[in-house]
């Protein structure tokens, strides 16, 4: 959510930004919110005037009573009541107008960074850098669930009977590998100075609307029936929500946090949940990184965050590339976003394994997170990035470490988390 003051002073910039995101239907909202905002400010002035007038008249009542002018005092009391009724009507209208303004501001997209490429959809995303040499082995690489099944490492049929499509049982060495990757990612981020956290896995509606757009909420979040609670789609939600309605001392910035959580997603609007695959699923686990910082430091932190993910994958000899999300592929709250994609030798292409986002002060404004600085209070910037998210990451891992005999090499960095194993072998 952008600053209403910025919109007042720069309506054409906001309109052009909407056009760059190919959301032309929202352009009219700028003039609509400006008209409501003007009416709201006029109504507020009227309320302030009535409040001052009522208070002034109220002070006269005591003096009139002291002078024995009882009838005049009673008439003045009636006048105070009339002013109070008028004020109550003004205040009700003020609240109604404020809600209308907020509702519209919540759907006007954030101002994108100048470095964001302009494009209508993800086909216009731009490759930035490649890290590592992608290779295709001489032997055929099976589908990822076939690799897992060769280790008796996944049971999709039982999961389908228990919960439906989009769920899985991981077993044996594959389950151990899954946990090893998460543990390694946790320690990797701790070693880079981040504070480890396990957050709540459910959040209230005011946090949900503070961290994401309504469209994202509808497509992603599972609602707990009869409760004001939602299952988190990523730990970023509860980690940023941790600071809701707080004033942070400037000297404590930046907050650099890394969090573990399961993640739950409806995947509404996706191209269907695969029956055999685990690329797009309803439940998975993830290690995340979150930063809350001064506005002038957010660009620097953005680059640090996506580089952390690149370094993690390269430490396991997995080739990756970074892909800059274009304007039309950028969620409304985001200023800029870079996806990290891993190489798939089987498909001979890259696929997304993480996403790094700078949200500017949008989440801080929605959640009322403020910083107490030397020159007064201001809104911090919030950023997030995926450290690692198996089982999607496991697809890249298994394909890039598979041997012709079906065994899978364990990179040196993971061996302490796998009981010293150098490879896992088929059952």
Per-residue pLDDT of the chain (427 residues; tens, 9 = 90+): 899 999 999 999 999 999 999 999 999 999 999 999 999 999 988 888 888 877 777 777 767 676 777 777 777 777 878 878 888 888 899 899 999 999 999 999 999 999 999 999 999 999 999 999 999 999 999 999 999 999 999 999 999 999 998 899 999 999 999 999 999 999 999 999 999 999 999 999 999 999 987 777 878 899 999 999 999 999 999 999 999 999 999 999 999 999 999 999 997 655 555 557 888 889 999 999 999 999 999 999 999 999 999 999 999 999 999 999 999 999 999 999 999 999 999 999 999 999 999 999 999 999 999 999 999 999 999 999 999 998 889 999 999 999 999 999 999 999 999 999 999 998 7
Task: Determine phi and psi for 9, rounding to 5 degrees.
Answer: -85, -20
Cα separation, 223 vs 232, in Å, equals 10
- Strand intervals (E) in 193-348: 195-197, 202-203, 222-223, 230-231, 247-249, 255-264, 283-293, 320-324, 336-344
Q: Are strands 222-223 and 230-231 parallel, antiparallel or unpaired?
A: antiparallel
DSSP reduced 3-state for 273: coil
Q: Which two tokens stand for residue 334?
A: 């985001």
- Between the two ends of the chain, the Cα-to-Cα distance in Å is 53
pLDDT at 272 (0 to 100):
52
pLDDT at 412 (0 to 100):
97
Query: Is 31 within 8 Å of 24 (Cβ atoms)?
Result: no
Query: Is 384 within 8 Å of 241 (Cβ atoms)?
Result: no
Q: CB neighbours of 426 closer than 8 A, spacing ≥ 6? A: 150, 151, 405, 406, 407
DSSP reduced 3-state for 110: coil
Nearest-10 crossing angle of helices 27-66, 70-105:
160
Q: Which two tokens stand for residue 232?
A: 């988190």
Torsion angle defined by CA atoms of residues 59, 60, 62 and 66, in that order, rounded to the nearest 10 degrees: 150
Q: Are strands 154-155 and 169-170 parallel, antiparallel or unpaired?
A: antiparallel
Region class of 420: left (phi > 0), else alpha (psi between -120 and 50), else beta: left
Domain 4-105: which topology? Helix Hairpins (1.10.287)
Q: What is the domain partition of the chain in residue ranges?
A: 4-105, 122-424
Rounded to two decimals, what is the model's pTM?
0.89
Residue 190: other Cβ atoms inside 10 A: 12
Cα separation, 264 vs 224, in Å, equals 12
Please tell me whether the peptide bond between 246 and the residue prior to it is cis, using omega within 30 degrees of 0. Answer: no
Q: 122-424, which class in CATH?
A: alpha beta
Tell me, yes or no, if the two domains 4-105 and 122-424 fold the same way: no
Cα separation, 340 vs 28, in Å, equals 35
Calculate what percentage of the chain has a pLDDT beyond 90.
79
């Amino acid at each position: 959510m952008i600053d209403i003051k910025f919109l007042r002073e720069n309506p054409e910039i906001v309109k052009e930004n909407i056009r760059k995101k190919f959301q032309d239907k929202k352009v009219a909202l700028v003039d609509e919110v400006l008209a409501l905002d003007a009416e709201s400010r006029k109504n507020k002035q009227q309320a302030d005037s009535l409040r001052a007038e009522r208070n002034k008249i109220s002070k006269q009542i005591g003096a009139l009573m002291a002078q024995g002018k009882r009838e005049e005092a009673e008439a003045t009391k009636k006048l105070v009541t009339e002013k109070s009724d008028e004020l109550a009507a003004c205040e009700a209208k003020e609240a109604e107008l404020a809600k209308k303004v907020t509702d519209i501001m919540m759907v006007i997209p954030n101002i994108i960074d100048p470095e964001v490429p302009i494009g209508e959809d993800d086909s216009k995303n731009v490759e930035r850098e490649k890290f590592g040499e992608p290779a295709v082995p001489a032997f055929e690489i099976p589908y990822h669930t076939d690799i897992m099944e060769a280790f008796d490492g996944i049971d999709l049929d039982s999961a389908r009977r228990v919960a439906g499509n989009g769920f899985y049982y991981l077993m044996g060495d594959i389950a151990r590998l899954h946990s090893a990757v998460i543990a390694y990612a946790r320690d990797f981020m701790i070693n880079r100075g981040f504070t480890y956290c396990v957050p709540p896995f459910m959040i209230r509606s005011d946090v949900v609307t503070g961290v994401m757009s309504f469209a994202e909420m509808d497509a992603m979040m599972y609602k707990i029936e009869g409760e004001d609670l939602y299952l988190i789609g990523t730990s970023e939600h509860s980690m940023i929500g941790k600071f809701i309605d707080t004033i942070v001392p400037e000297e404590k910035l930046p907050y650099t946090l890394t969090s573990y959580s399961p993640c739950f997603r409806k995947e509404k609007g996706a191209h269907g949940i695969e029956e055999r695959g685990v690329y797009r699923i309803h439940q998975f686990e993830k290690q995340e990184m979150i930063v809350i910082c001064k506005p002038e430091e957010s660009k620097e932190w953005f680059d640090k965050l996506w580089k952390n993910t690149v370094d993690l994958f390269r430490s396991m000899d997995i080739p990756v590339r970074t892909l800059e999300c274009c304007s039309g592929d950028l969620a409304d709250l985001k200023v800029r976003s870079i996806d990290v994609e891993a190489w798939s030798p089987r498909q001979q292409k890259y696929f997304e394994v993480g996403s790094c986002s700078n949200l500017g002060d949008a989440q801080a404004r929605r959640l009322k997170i403020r910083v107490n600085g030397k020159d007064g209070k201001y809104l911090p910037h919030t950023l997030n990035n995926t450290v690692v998210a198996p089982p999607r990451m496991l697809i890249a891992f298994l394909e890039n470490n598979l041997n012709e005999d079906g065994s899978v090499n364990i990179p040196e960095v993971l061996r302490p988390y796998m009981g010293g194993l150098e490879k896992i072998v088929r059952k």
